[in-house]
């Protein structure tokens, strides 16, 4: 047997929620509980040509269903399936609409099996057909257009169209109810050759085997500028007779033949109902001898009596159900049984999905709520009809699934034997992999990360808690790439002041040293011929740098202080004792010993001389000599000459310390460099080049201010360059010369399918382009073409127009008579290239380019933008003539509205003031249109009346962040499933 039936607490396996995947879990459980769908998924066969297993959607769905059917777990994960969708972890926390997910998932499954032609069942099972029609009431000629559907979206409440549907049956009736076209809305009949009264509507041509109904509970309130959830009560039946939808003239009459009597549901016996019954013990358990003792003293419930009572009630209700089914079937074949109710609990801005699903095998209903699956009564269905006249947050049915009653096609159960051997073997392999990963996870829990410092660096070293200090030490030596004998290194604890303290013994275990996760330690290294000093908590470590003659050749204080010597001395020692200790260690007589200490709060490397004659008897802490104090020493015999360190520090004190900030395209970290202010930027760049190991002509230096202007004149001194806060940004790239500026080049194309109404064009960044400020525009264009040919050889720009980009939109048309310094004297100016016909290139005086979109009031559509060349000093009448020719609209009918491109949204056209252009003498560059380069116009034919937007259109064309709460409640991201093997 494939499945060992170990008892579990619930009849079905739940699905874990990854964060906000409740909508997905609800649909997946519905599809799993659809026997026909599950069987077809099991029939699908994976082959190598389907691509990687982990990204094959049908395979991962097959494995998920098999686990749901065979697992004894309380719930299982869906991460393998969402990985096949191409989703990241972040996308698991993005909630989506369950109906949208259903459509996208079906499309992805079909695409996955498209090549092999294996997956057709979605069309066969879920696809229906309808026809849009307009019927002339005079000649009765009918114009129709057929289309397909996977679900029907039913309106609940639409105040604009005066629709309120309080039941699914009523919503379906109104769905096919035609609209009467009369009066000003008469239909032009091609047969009659004139306008006539007509009926416009929709007919259902074919109902699918699985009927998906969406209750449109989410809308957009444009007046309040917010999304809303409609929680009005909408009842639905477990058994529906939909034959009325298939009648020839469905919807055209005043009433339809629609049996609205509810079918009695298959029974579910609630435990409270049984407990309130009084069962009598019987000597005989014959069914006809069972009697109920109503209103008598309760007797203990007898098991057999209880069982027979349930069976009797089930049999009676099933008989009633079967009778109603047969009654409906006598009127036609389109009888549907409800088996899934997907429920949304929450508001328009978010919430939680779960599903009530019927098991066809037992007739019982279950609540599938992520991991939890519990049996429920059919009485629970009426509790999710919704609440009358309510809005805001509530719990209500959103997506319903019905199955057509057909004794020949209906499947009651999918057997375990229908799961293929390949799937069984794959599940076993995945189970073994999961067990191995669990073992590894438990081992990883035993690991610990310790931060070990060596000199100025610090690294994270990972070992096991029960490893010894010796293992940790060896791992640290390897991590730092040190070629030393482990005997010449030891690990030491670090105190709160970042000072090395107690020594850790090699043989001790890490966990027994009370070393926790992210504990900081230090690695101490000695020379092979040295001995480690015993740790004495009464001693402190001082850092000592003896003078070397090479320091004057290349004075780099950062490198000099990188590897100091160490000296241990008692904390309460005197200055004289310190001098004696240094004298002894470095073999310098005290009379010739010169010692300087770095000033504690001085960023530059100035110093303070330690004077034994005045400070000899003072304790070290009184002279600010504490742990890790940096001491500079030398042998100074000629008292008449400055000491070498003193001369060095005087030289250093005149330097400027510059923080070098490395751009993200560098692998190194930020650092500081000291340089004399009179040194040139070229010398500074040379120093940086050596540090970052990149040639000087391959990186750019910028000021860390505003637009981060580039430093071009390398002959300037550091002082002249005026670096704010002494910060310098460097990034990879070709540096500019003093007479050049950097232009950022884009290509602009008309946006055929803009995401926003305000988007007339799309711009795509190409590259940055150095340009001499004295170049004329034709020279710049020629060099631009050469670079485009190198970077984008398929991009045709033989004829190009240059436009400035301001505020993310195309603006000024750049004339060929201009020079680069006429365009900009600053770096990073954005320019756009437009590839055009040669006739469009000629620019006369006062010519400008405007962008125009035509608005179609009858459909609320905006056509793609068209660029039009006009003279901005021409009259509005003249502008109207140009637009009339371009858009084939009579001049007398043209109206124009200038938009603010950043904030424009289509709904504002319902109240915007359009300007009539005919016979208008105002200049275009003055009011009311104020046309300039890049102006954006919406035009329309005034003979077409603007109709009121439907609720769907208001939601569709609403601003992307349509809420008084601003960005915190922006629209959810588009739901996408990537199909990698299609």
Q: Which residues are catalytic?
A: 22, 352
Neighbours of 509 (CB within 10 A): 14
Contact of 249 with 225, CB cutoff 8 Å = no
DSSP 8-state code for residue 909: G
Q: How far is CA 673 from CA 255, 602, 709, 966, in A?
A: 89, 16, 21, 46
Tokens of 142: 């009918």
Helices 35-43 & 22-32, crossing angle to 10 degrees? 90
Contacts of 27 (CB under 8 A, 6+ apart): 98, 101, 102, 105, 342, 355
Residue 187 burial by CB count (10 A; 0-12/13-18/19+): exposed, middle or buried?
Answer: buried
Across-strand partners of 914? none
d(CA 68, CA 492): 54
Contacts of 481 (CB under 8 A, 6+ apart): none
Long-range contacts formed by 45-50: CB under 8 A, 24+ apart: 45/118, 45/420, 45/422, 46/422, 47/116, 49/115, 49/116, 49/981, 50/112, 50/116, 50/981
d(CA 299, CA 16): 43
DSSP 8-state code for residue 512: G
Helix then strand then coil, % of the chain, to nearest 5: 30, 30, 40
DSSP-derived 3-state class of residue 289 = helix
Instruction: Note the residue count of the chain.
Output: 982
Tokens of 122: 């979605």
Give the residue carrying structure tokens 């997910």.
Answer: 101
Contact of 849 with 867, CB cutoff 8 Å = yes
d(CA 144, CA 658): 77
Q: Is the peptide bond before 928 cis (omega within 30 degrees of 0)?
A: yes
DSSP 8-state code for residue 119: -
DSSP-derived 3-state class of residue 311 = helix
Neighbours of 835 (CB within 10 A): 14
Q: Strands, E, within 559-601: which ranges?
A: 565-570, 593-598
Residue 625 burial by CB count (10 A; 0-12/13-18/19+): exposed, middle or buried?
Answer: buried
Contact of 258 with 332, CB cutoff 8 Å = no
The phi and psi torsions of 909 (rounded to 5 degrees) equal -65, -20
Nearest by Cα to 625 from 573, 679, 693, 586 = 573
Tokens of 982: 């299609």
Contact of 433 with 446, CB cutoff 8 Å = no
Contacts of 184 (CB under 8 A, 6+ apart): none
d(CA 460, CA 574): 39
- Return the ∠ at Cα 906 (arms to 917 and 921), rounded to 5°: 10
DSSP-derived 3-state class of residue 749 = strand
Tokens of 241: 């007779």
User: Which strand (E) or helix (H) includes residue 644?
Assistant: helix 644-653
Contacts of 601 (CB under 8 A, 6+ apart): none
Q: Strands, E, within 836-949: which ranges?
A: 847-856, 861-862, 866-871, 894-898, 915-916, 936-941
d(CA 150, CA 630): 78
Contact of 899 with 937, CB cutoff 8 Å = yes
């Amino acid at each position: 047997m494939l499945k060992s039936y170990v008892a579990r607490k619930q009849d079905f396996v739940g699905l874990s929620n990854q964060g906000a995947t409740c909508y997905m879990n609800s649909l997946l459980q519905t599809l799993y509980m659809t026997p026909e769908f599950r069987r077809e998924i099991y029939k699908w066969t994976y082959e190598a040509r389907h691509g990687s297993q982990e990204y094959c959607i049908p395979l991962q769905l097959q494995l998920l269903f098999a686990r749901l059917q065979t697992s004894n777990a309380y719930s299982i994960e869906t991460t393998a399936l969402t990985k096949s969708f191409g989703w990241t972890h972040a996308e698991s926390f993005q909630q989506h609409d369950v109906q949208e997910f259903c459509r996208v998932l079906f499309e992805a499954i079909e695409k996955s099996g498209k090549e092999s032609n294996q997956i057709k069942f979605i069309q066969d099972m879920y696809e229906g057909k309808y026809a849009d029609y307009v019927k002339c009431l005079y000649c009765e000629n009918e114009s129709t257009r057929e289309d397909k559907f996977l679900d029907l979206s039913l309106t609940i409440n639409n105040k604009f169209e005066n629709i309120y549907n309080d039941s699914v049956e009523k919503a379906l009736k109104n769905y096919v109810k035609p609209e009467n076209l009369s009066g000003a809305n008469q239909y032009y009949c091609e047969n009659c050759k004139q306008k006539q009264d007509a009926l416009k509507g929709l007919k259902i041509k074919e109902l699918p085997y699985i009927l998906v109904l969406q209750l449109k509970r989410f809308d957009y309130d444009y007046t309040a500028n917010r999304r809303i959830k409609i929680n009005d009560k909408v009842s639905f039946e477990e058994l529906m007779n939909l034959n009325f939808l298939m009648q020839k003239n469905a919807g055209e009459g005043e009433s339809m033949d629609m049996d609205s009597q509810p079918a009695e549901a298959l029974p579910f016996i609630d435990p409270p109902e049984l407990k309130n019954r009084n069962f009598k013990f019987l000597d005989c358990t014959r069914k006809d001898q069972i009697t109920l003792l109503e209103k008598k003293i309760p007797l203990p419930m007898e098991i057999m009596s209880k069982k027979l009572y349930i069976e009797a009630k089930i049999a009676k209700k099933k008989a009633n159900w079967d009778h109603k089914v047969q009654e409906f079937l006598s009127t036609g074949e389109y009888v549907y049984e409800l088996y899934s109710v997907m429920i949304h609990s929450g508001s328009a801005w978010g919430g939680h999905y779960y599903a009530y699903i019927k098991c066809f095998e037992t007739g019982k209903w279950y609540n599938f709520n992520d991991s939890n699956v519990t049996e429920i009564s059919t009485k629970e269905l009426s509790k999710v009809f919704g609440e009358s006249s309510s809005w805001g947050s509530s719990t209500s049915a959103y997506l319903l699934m019905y199955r057509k009653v057909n004794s020949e096609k209906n499947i009651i159960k999918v057997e375990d034997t229908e799961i293929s051997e390949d799937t069984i073997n794959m599940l076993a392999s995945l189970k073994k992999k999961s067990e191995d990963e669990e073992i590894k996870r438990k081992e990883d829990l035993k690991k610990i990360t310790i931060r070990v410092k060596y000199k100025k660096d610090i690294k994270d070293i990972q070992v096991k808690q029960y490893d010894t200090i010796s293992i940790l030490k060896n791992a640290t030596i390897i991590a730092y790439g040190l070629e030393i004998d482990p005997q010449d290194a030891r690990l030491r604890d670090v105190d709160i002041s970042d000072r090395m303290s107690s020594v850790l013994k090699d043989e001790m275990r890490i966990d027994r040293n009370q070393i926790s996760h992210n504990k900081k330690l230090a690695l101490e290294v000695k020379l092979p011929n040295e001995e480690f000093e015993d740790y004495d908590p009464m001693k402190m470590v001082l850092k000592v740098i003896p003078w070397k003659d090479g320091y004057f050749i290349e004075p780099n204080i950062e490198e000099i202080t990188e590897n100091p010597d160490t000296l241990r001395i008692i904390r309460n020692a005197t200055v004289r004792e310190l001098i004696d200790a240094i004298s002894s260690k470095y073999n310098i007589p005290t009379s010739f010993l010169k010692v300087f200490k770095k000033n504690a709060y001085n960023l530059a490397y100035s110093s303070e001389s330690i004077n034994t004659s005045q400070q000899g008897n003072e304790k070290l802490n009184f002279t600010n000599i504490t742990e890790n104090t940096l001491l500079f020493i030398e042998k100074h015999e000629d008292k008449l000459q400055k000491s070498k360190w003193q001369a060095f520090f005087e030289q250093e004190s005149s330097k400027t310390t510059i923080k070098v900030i490395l751009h993200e395209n560098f692998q190194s970290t930020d650092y500081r460099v000291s340089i004399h202010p009179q040194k040139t930027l070229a010398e500074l760049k040379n120093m940086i080049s050596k540090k970052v190991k990149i040639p000087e002509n391959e990186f750019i230096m910028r000021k860390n201010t505003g637009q981060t202007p580039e430093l071009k004149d390398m002959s300037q001194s550091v002082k002249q360059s005026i670096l704010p806060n002494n910060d310098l940004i460097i990034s990879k790239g070709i540096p500019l010369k003093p007479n050049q500026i950097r232009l950022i080049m884009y290509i602009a194309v008309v946006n055929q399918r803009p995401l926003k109404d305000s988007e007339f064009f799309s711009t795509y960044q190409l590259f940055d382009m150095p340009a001499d400020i004295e170049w004329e525009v034709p020279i710049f264009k020629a060099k631009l073409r050469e670079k485009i040919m190198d970077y984008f050889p398929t991009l045709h720009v033989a004829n190009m127009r240059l436009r400035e980009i301001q505020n993310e939109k195309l603006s000024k048309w750049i004339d060929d008579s201009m020079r680069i310094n006429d365009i900009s004297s600053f770096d990073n100016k954005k320019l756009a290239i437009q590839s055009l016909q040669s006739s469009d290139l000629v620019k006369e005086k006062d010519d400008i380019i405007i962008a125009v979109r035509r608005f179609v009031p009858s459909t609320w559509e905006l056509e793609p933008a068209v660029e039009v060349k006009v003279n901005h000093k021409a009259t509005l009448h003249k502008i109207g003539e140009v637009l009339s020719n371009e858009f084939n609209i009579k001049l007398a009918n043209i109206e124009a509205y200038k938009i603010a491109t950043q904030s424009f949204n289509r709904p504002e056209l319902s109240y915007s003031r359009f300007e009539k252009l005919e016979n208008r003498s105002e200049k275009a560059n003055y009011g009311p249109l104020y046309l300039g380069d890049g102006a954006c116009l919406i035009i329309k034919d005034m003979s077409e009346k603007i109709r009121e937007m439907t609720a769907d259109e208001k939601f569709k064309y609403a601003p992307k962040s349509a809420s008084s709460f601003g960005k915190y409640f922006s629209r959810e991201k588009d739901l996408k499933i990537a199909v990698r093997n299609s």
